[in-house]
Amino acid sequence: MRDLAFALMLLAVFPMALARPFNAYLLWGWTGMLAPTAYFYGFMVGVRVNLVMALLTLMLLALGRVQWRSYQKNTLTWIYVFFALHATLAYLFAYPGNPNNATYHELFIKGMLFAIAMPFFVRERIHFHVMFIVIALGLGVHGLLGGLKTIATAGGHIMQGPQGTMLADRNHLSAALTLVLPLLLYLHANTVNRIFRLGYLGAFCVLVAAILGGGSRGGFIALSVVGVWLVLTTRRKGLAIILVAAAVIGFLAFAPENITNRMTTIQEMDDDASFMGRVYAWRVSSAIALANPVFGGGFHAVQIQPIWDSFKEAHGLFGFMNLPPPTFKAKAAHSIYFEVLGDLGFVGLGIFLIILVRGLRARWIIKKTVVRLGSGYQWARDMADMLMLAILAYMTGGAAVSLAYYEVIYMVVMLMELLKLHVLRAQSTINSAKTSSVVRHPRLDKLVVANAK
């Protein structure tokens, strides 16, 4: 039944996508984040909906339905292109016998392509607002389903993400959901319709329940960063304090003992076998990078047992720790930073950090520009604050999960870059208007004098 309903929905919106390339682009992004095939059971299981929408959007671009000169030139696009080229070379020079290499390279390039195409379509305030909604309806739906089940079972439900995607693991899903929380708060504050405002606020609360119920320590830390930042910096401190207090009280009152026990072990990392497993994975990842400093070992090479065995006795960057060789099987990197380091080398890690830092720096430029633009652009400052908070949540929560190639973070950073371009254009327009109002033309002055005589 759900297969048929989704198929009918696609048939209904397909003419809208043909009519406007922006609609096709939105469907491309939405189907990529939603991963609808993970929820199908019938005839739609094998249909590559996201690929269809991507090809449709690119076809409309190729046919000139969107003017190529409308592309907003920016430095971040070139950084993304360079990162994609570097990742492709790392994929080609990777250690053999790694089935993860091709899989994650394809996923990464797809996400990069979507982000690189964004300057064609996102220019005005309404475009940014709609992109926030698409992310909420794409990525946020996974948390909404998990959160409702968590609430219905009083914390007994073990949240899982869509199978066959990067978010299948609950730790990955919990960390990714923290990206959506700031966007939902922005939508709540900047939506006129009261029903939708309440809907965004309710979705925020359900996602918080999903993250807490998931029992992920990385998600819990990222959620704490979001809560503390909101209380300290937001202009709506009353709402922020109420939301944070409700989350803390609800978690302490209703969370099952196994989840609260898992959270308390954050303070006992030295004795936690799970944490020490991460340390070994970080050590092996760094050893792979030292052996291949430019291109690394290929996507998720650390998870391949022969590669793990080749480097498990090397100290890597952890020579200061007197650790015996691990006796367990290969593990994931469990950190976006060590994931990129082992996969793409020190060069890849450098580009990755430049992308994240550039997103944070763009917020400072936006804030400084909005001060000169006046209260009419307060929405841009609020949006920049929430985008920056999403990046910070990813950087903290991602320190414990392998989620470096998830497309939404690159979408968020590109949105920040385009928002910066938007406010700088507005500032330039105002400056030009002021200049034209004070510059007088010599011939016009002579004419005025002659008429006066």
pLDDT value, residue 47: 81
Q: Are residues 194 and 233 in the same domain?
A: yes
CA distance 100 to 299: 6
Domain final position from 220, 249, 270: 270
298 & 189 share domain: no
Instruction: Determine the Cα–Cα distance for residues 135 and 200; give it in Å rounded to an integer.
Output: 12
Cα dihedral 257, 206, 202, 362 sign: positive
Co-location of 185 and 303 in the same domain: no
Between helix 194-213 and helix 180-189 the angle, nearest 10°, is 160
* Tokens matching residue 272: 């936690």
**Cα distance between residue 157 and residue 170, in whole Å:** 11
Q: Do 41 and 103 fall into the same domain?
A: no
Question: Are 305 and 263 found together in one domain?
Answer: no
Number of domains in the chain: 3
Q: How far apart are CA 368 and CA 265, in angstroms?
A: 41
Residues 237 and 283 grouped into a single domain: no
The DSSP call for residue 71 is: S
Structural contact between residues 203 and 177, judged by C-beta atoms closer than 8 angstroms: no
Alpha-helix runs per DSSP H in 20-124: 21-34, 49-62, 75-92, 99-117
pTM for the model: 0.90
Same-domain check for residues 403 and 324 = yes
255 and 110 in a single domain? The answer is no
User: How far apart (Å, rounded) are the C-alpha atoms in residues 289 and 99?
Assistant: 19
In terms of domains, do 208 and 159 share one?
yes
Q: Is the dihedral of CA 265, 267, 270, 271 positive or negative?
A: negative
DSSP 181: H
Are 412 and 366 members of one domain?
A: yes
- Same domain for 176 and 54? no
Q: Mean pLDDT for each 10-residue chunk of the chain (453 residues)?
A: 84 90 95 87 81 94 91 96 98 94 95 97 96 95 88 76 86 92 93 93 90 78 83 72 72 55 52 73 94 96 94 86 82 94 97 96 90 88 93 93 95 97 91 68 48 44
Token couple for 103: 């899989």
Based on the fold, state whether residues 292 and 403 are members of the same structural domain: yes
Provide the residue range defining the domain that includes 84.
Answer: 74-117+272-453
Burial of 22 (0-12, 13-18, 19+ CB in 10 A): buried
The amino acid at residue 291 is A
Q: Which amino acid belongs to residue 432?
A: S
